[in-house]
Amino acid sequence: MTEIRNTHCCKHGCSRLPDNSHIKDGGSSRLTANVSTSSTVRCDRYRIEKMDCPTEEQMIRKQLEPIPGIVKLDFNLLERQLTIHHKLDNVNIITAELDSLGMSAVPLNSSNERLTVPVISNRQKWQLLISGIAAMTAEAVAWTTDNEASILVISLAALSVLTAGLPTLKKGVIALRTFTLNIYFLMSLAFIGSIIISKWPELAMVVFLFAVAETIEALSLEKARKAIKALTALAPETAEVKTGDEWLETPVSDVAIGSRIRVRTGSRVPLDSLVESGQAALDQSPVTGESMPVDKQCGDMLFAGSIVSDGVVEATVTALARESTLARIATAIQEAQSQRAPTQRFVDNFAHYYTPAVVLLSVVIAISGPFLFEGGWSYWFYQALVVLVIACPCALVISTPVTVVSGLAAAAKHGILIKGGTYLENGRLLKAIAFDKTGTLTSGKPALTDMIPCSDMPINQALLIAASLDDHSTHPVAKALVEGWRNFQPINSMLSVENFSVINGHGVKGQINGTCWSLGNHRLVEELGVCSEDLESKLSILENSGKTAIVLCSESAPVALFGVADTIRPESIQAVSKLKQMNVESIMLSGDNPTTVNTIAARLGISHAYGNLMPEVKQNKISELKAEFGHVGMVGDGVNDAPALARADIGIAMGVAGTATALETADVAIMDDNPKKVADFIMLSQKTATILKQNITFALAIKLVFLLLAIFSHATLWMAVFADMGASLLVVFNGLRLIKHNPN
């Protein structure tokens, strides 16, 4: 019977047609005729509930990677998800191979993706309790009767193993069969060895303690898992959508682009949308990390997952639920988890050689012990088993992914989206940060900065006339002047303008109350013939400070002078200062004119500033800076700065909540445009590296101490398991500390 499914690719949305090929090859579990003749790489996702740690990942890799047609495997241990990139026509082989490992795989789709299974069921709790009582009773009976192989002791030990140890033993059998050197392989050897030398009470205690250790480890990892879910499950499942004359609750998955939604006080925004009517204060901290509410009005963007603190707005949906800013953040975090950080790759390689070396050491101890030291074969065989269990690299291997994922979660919680453990670790290596000017260190929006009277007319009256003229223009400088008037006099209306016209390249003109007025740049003043030495001096001061000068002129003389400039973000000075304290050089790269660039750089305390740079020139400049400083980061908007972001060691995008391109281009994204968070990212990277080093040191030190105890006959099997459990928990909890990291 053919199994008909349509499992969608996690990233590309491709589907797979059913296949009828089930031809076996000589009884092997490998299927022939698996590989598609098409060169298209498809991908399928599976949830594997029994996949919690790198040990299971290693087993799955060893089983699946040799299959012809398997291109790549991506593991998300926190979500227990496996993504398989392949060219197979028949995917039944995948589930068959996973079943042979005791790893039942459930294909993921939109309906079951969010389903979760309890970390530990009530049945497992009862089994652990019974196993523990049986193991401790076996120890007590053996100690009081001085007989470790009596029928009662063996029965109690068997009960303990059967109630809590079967999953471990099953994985151990698979590890032995495939000769996979992991903790289950080592535990299996210890299990068999304990039976051979009749250490039944210790066998029971070892199996029970190992089951407890695995349970506590799973519960510890659940904390990191919940931290990620808290970041990726913010949007509500329904939206209030206008249908005809009614507002109806509709699943967000059914809401189309262009639909009109309503969001009220206390509700979360269900989808990315544009405000059409109403006003509201929104808490965007779940998405951007901003601590203060942001006022939203007509024309402003709303991000899915943000919370309406006060007010009611109606908005038009701009993105489907699966394409929202929140969904893109979730996807980036999921992809980041599957990437191996440098330390994790080092640890994996270390464990690859470390485990066989320890197995060889235990064999040497078992064989040479009776010849070199006192004690018989049974005694040294037991010591070899202790060494095997103590030497398990589980704590070492698990320390890195838990720490890295905790760091990624902490960063996202504070509005910093890091797209992989590599960038989280390597951020500490940055010696220089190249900032784009506009929209990064500055607001990217012109604003009225100066008002200078040139006649007896009150400056507020002159500003009203200028704003009334510019209210008819769409030029960014004109909009800045109008906005400046509204900031001064938000209630008063503009004056009526007649015979308005645009003077190309110079400004505008029009009549107000019968008087002709002209408003424009330096060239306009010279053409009108009303320029003077005093006015030239004032214009020179504004222009040399990087500002755009605008002059309001009557028919006979200049009346007022206004300065418009792209204003520096309030956080930019703090950002540069903070980086300087960390011995990281700040550099400005801009396409703006050198005068403006140097003026803003001086105000920020930046000593290296370069202007008139085209995108390709910025890219070359990054190469020069890397040769001078070493590791260099680039901060930009992710669109015009894409070449430079790509050339930098770490590309950092500002304002990712507004642009999909930024998220795709950069390695790190600052969600709320706050340049100070560049320094926060480097600090988090430094702290992550410190904790990783601590974990590796803890894990190896504990192993070394207990190895020495075992070699000198001061350790037992249950002590070995206890040491392994303690080391694992120590590094897990130490890594989880990063979740609470606060850069402020």
Name the residues annotated as catalytic: 436
Please compute, for residue 270, the number of CA atoms within 13 A of its CA located in the half-sphere on the CB side.
Answer: 27
Q: What's the rounded Cα separation, in Å, for the pair 530 and 520?
A: 13
The residues, any chain, with a CB within 8 Å of residue 538's CB and separated by 6 or more, are 452, 454, 561
Please compute, for residue 482, the number of CA atoms within 13 A of its CA located in the half-sphere on the CB side.
Answer: 15
Contact 437, 597 (CB under 8 A): yes
Q: What's the rounded Cα separation, in Å, for the pair 597 and 37?
A: 57
What is the residue type of 304? A
Contact 326, 295 (CB under 8 A): no
Q: Tokens 């790269």 identify what position?
A: 589
The string of DSSP letters for 259-293 reads -EEEE-TTPBP-S-EEEEEEEEEEE-HHHH--SS-
Q: What's the rounded Cα separation, in Å, for the pair 122 and 130?
A: 12
Query: Residue 621's closest CA among 422, 436, 426, 423?
Result: 436
Query: Residue 181's closest CA among 52, 62, 277, 51?
Result: 62
Two tokens at 674? 């706050």
CA dihedral 453, 454, 458, 463 (to 10 degrees): -70
What element of type H or E holds 17?
none
Two tokens at 105? 């795989």
Query: Residue 80's closest CA among 181, 185, 213, 229?
Result: 229
Query: Residue 542's closest CA among 525, 522, 556, 517?
Result: 522
Q: What angle do CA 248, 249, 255 make, to 5 degrees?
A: 95
Q: Would residue 367 be called left, alpha or beta, if left means φ above 0 and alpha means ψ between -120 and 50 degrees?
A: alpha
In 179-270, which ranges are E strands?
A: 238-243, 246-251, 260-263
Two tokens at 111? 């309906």
Q: Tokens 């960063």 identify what position?
A: 411
What element of type H or E holds 638?
none
